[in-house]
Structure 1
């Protein structure tokens, strides 16, 4: 029987907040139980194990991030859309580092397909409509953008850019300018050469 006051939503939200504070990899059932002021067994009415707890946080993070990206893209196209999308991801990672890490974690295929994960690719493809990219270039560009954004954000989060005098924001702007240029001036691939 579920403990009064603890709902799956409250459990997930508490776990997400805790992940932001202590790190997604440090998230445990015991830590969430302590935060909620209950014993560990009280949570097992809602979850089977720590893996399921982390999956719930991943699903929440994917949903939040997709919603934020969709709102940022509304009415934008081309470079403006690219910059809004990229800044949304970067801002989310800065504000919610544990959730951002959760959004990057591997989900089983069925869970991933039924989550907000496909929306992230759809949103990226929406940006790419402004660059008139046919397949297979569009798929390559989706991967290119995600790898670039995630790589930059991940390095920034662990202090990877603190050893130079140039501000990370200036480099981020340079990255976005370069991505826009690359997408507008991409070489032809395959049969279109």
Structure 2
């Protein structure tokens, strides 16, 4: 069953009673019935599409991002107090587009305006792209939602990193909020 809206604006109308400003709605308190799939897709670069067409209104994307939820089954949903519709997400729903060090903390900003501080509740990890072997770094933004860290931001983290020995291997490590995160092991080019 696919839920058909004539436009994303129709879905926005159902969200008009949500909190304004930077306050996130209490979606963790809502348990609406599943109403089907909607043809909204978040691409790996953070772009949002409706029926294959880009959603260009930044305010609309921001609004949708505030009611985005990832359930235990790994599926992503837009949730209102009265309905829940499934959407498709190619990778992570958000992209971390900048990082800034302030004292001993690293502050990240996402493409939808979320901010988080790398630390206990906002961890960082790096996976490897299966085909290319390139690193794919992520940060937990909120609840069960993550951001892929874009290349420029990852390079900034590499510039901030220090070399540390972990389990006999040299790693590039960053610190924030008294926690340490490996950006990956580095090979000693002198041994090649």
TM-score for both structures, normalised by structure 2: 0.35
| Larger proportion of strand | 2
| Larger proportion of helix | 1
